Amino acid sequence: LYQVHYRELFDLWDSDDVPVPRKELLQKVKGVDALVCVLTEKIDAELLDAAGPNLKVLSTMSVGFDHLSLEELKKRGIRVGYTPDVLTDSVAELTVALLLTTSRRLIEATHEAKTGGWGTWRTLWLCGYELANSTVGILGLGRIGVAIAERLKPFKVKKFIYTDVAPRPELASLIDAEYVSMDELASQSDFLTVCCALTPETKDICNKDLFSKMKNTSIFINTSRGGVVDQEDLYEALSSGQIAGAGLDVTVPEPLPTSHPLFTLNNCVILPHIASASYSTRNAMSALAANNLLLGLKGQPMIKELKL
């Protein structure tokens, strides 16, 4: 009986391999009261029009919301749940792993070991850059930026700096970070990690202008959203030696075509958007997304609701 009742109430796209096709999504949302989505679904005016006036609650299984047309949702009075906090530890851990992998050239090193490049001991072979006595810059200081800094501190980082739309003294005090301008962030950082949300203001904010001010020994790390980086400018900076290396968990588009020039560079490590991919975190995100939805349907406060 429960299964029959369940099937009447819910419609599920049951595939992890491909996102629900747009055409099918537009058909299936007609008349729904609530919708759970992930970051592969663009929730815009077209989709909201297709859903119709019954749609009152949207729950996204993500902390980022650049796939949502917030103005359209606000205009229609649709409440929005999302999943911050529960993925902070996982994203911070992955960011540190990616930073170390990039700076110590681990992907290159494993390739050399596998393919016979490992010969006699050589003085400067596969040398990288260490965190001890370095300056770490954070672009966009939020929960995740703080969590990254907390994990990097034991590596004897000398100084943390950050930039944001405005100083964030409460968060900064947790990691003893200094607020600086964008230019200072670029010129001072030995490691620059991007933790900001993708908004119209941050789109392509990491571009030729930023990279040209960075040290040629700097490592650039992005685990936020691919859209904050101008990838052509990043390719030029990496291939010309303007910066030493980059580690990316996010790109435009996703997946990044295997023919993309960034894949030809030894000093660029690209991961397939796995920052929150731990079993415990994905389970917590799923539960939070479901509970946000159910509470919204009941007209109750969500556990985590976006204020539109």
Q: What is the CATH number of the domain that holds 240?
A: 3.40.50.720
Confidence of residue 8 (pLDDT cuts 50, 70, 90): low
Active centre residues (catalytic): 273
Kindly tell me if the per-residue pLDDT of 7 is higher than 60: no
Residue 307 lies in a domain: no
Note down the domain range covering 208: 88-270
Kindly state the greatest CA–CA separation across the chain.
71
pLDDT at 18: 87
Q: Are residues 134 and 94 in the same domain?
A: yes
Q: Are residues 81 and 92 in the same domain?
A: no
Q: Are residues 109 and 68 in the same domain?
A: no
pLDDT at 117: 96
Residue 222 lies in a domain: yes
Q: What is the mean pLDDT of residues 36-60?
A: 97
Kindly tell me if the per-residue pLDDT of 1 is higher than 50: no
Kindly tell me if the per-residue pLDDT of 84 is higher than 90: yes
Query: How does pLDDT run across 260-272, given as a tens digit for each residue?
Result: 999 999 999 999 9
Q: Are residues 80 and 94 in the same domain?
A: no
Residue 145 DSSP code: H
Residue 283 lies in a domain: yes
Q: How many Cβ atoms from other residues are within 10 Å of residue 99's Cβ?
A: 26
Q: How many Cβ atoms from other residues are within 10 Å of residue 102's Cβ?
A: 25
Kindly tell me if the per-residue pLDDT of 2 is higher than 50: no
pLDDT at 218: 98
Among candidate residues 135, 145, 152, 158, the one with its CA nearest the CA of residue 100: 152
Buried b (16+ CB within 10 A) or exposed e, 64-77: bbbbbbeebbeeee
Residue 246 lies in a domain: yes
What is the side-by-side strand order in the sheet with 159-163?
177-179, 159-163, 135-139, 191-194, 219-222, 245-248, 268-270
Q: What is the mean pLDDT of residues 68-90?
A: 97
Q: Are residues 46 and 111 in the same domain?
A: no
pLDDT at 100: 98
Please, which residues have CB within 8 angstroms of residue 284's CB and are 6 or more apart in sequence?
Answer: 83, 86, 87
Query: How does pLDDT run across 105-144, given as a tens digit for each residue?
Result: 999 999 999 999 999 999 999 999 999 999 999 999 999 9
Q: Are residues 249 and 116 in the same domain?
A: yes
Q: How many Cβ atoms from other residues are within 10 Å of residue 121's Cβ?
A: 6
SS3 content of the chain, % helix, strand, coil (to 5): 40, 15, 45
Please, which residues have CB within 8 angstroms of residue 119's CB and are 6 or more apart in sequence?
Answer: none
Q: Are residues 78 and 211 in the same domain?
A: no
Task: Supply the mean pLDDT for the chain.
Answer: 95
Q: Are residues 119 and 243 in the same domain?
A: yes
Among candidate residues 81, 75, 41, 74, the one with its CA nearest the CA of residue 58: 81
Residue 305 lies in a domain: no
Q: What is the mean pLDDT of residues 286-298?
A: 97
What domain count does the chain have? 2
- Cα(143)–Cα(141) distance, rounded to whole angstroms? 7
Residue 97 lies in a domain: yes
Q: Are residues 119 and 217 in the same domain?
A: yes
pLDDT at 9: 74
Token pair of 291, please?
């509970």
Please, which residues have CB within 8 angstroms of residue 28's CB and are 6 or more apart in sequence?
Answer: 11, 13, 20
Q: pTM of whole model > 0.85? A: yes
- Cα(135)–Cα(157) distance, rounded to whole angstroms? 6
Query: How does pLDDT run across 154-183, given as a tens digit for each residue?
Result: 999 999 999 999 999 999 999 999 999 999
Kindly tell me if the per-residue pLDDT of 4 is higher than 70: no
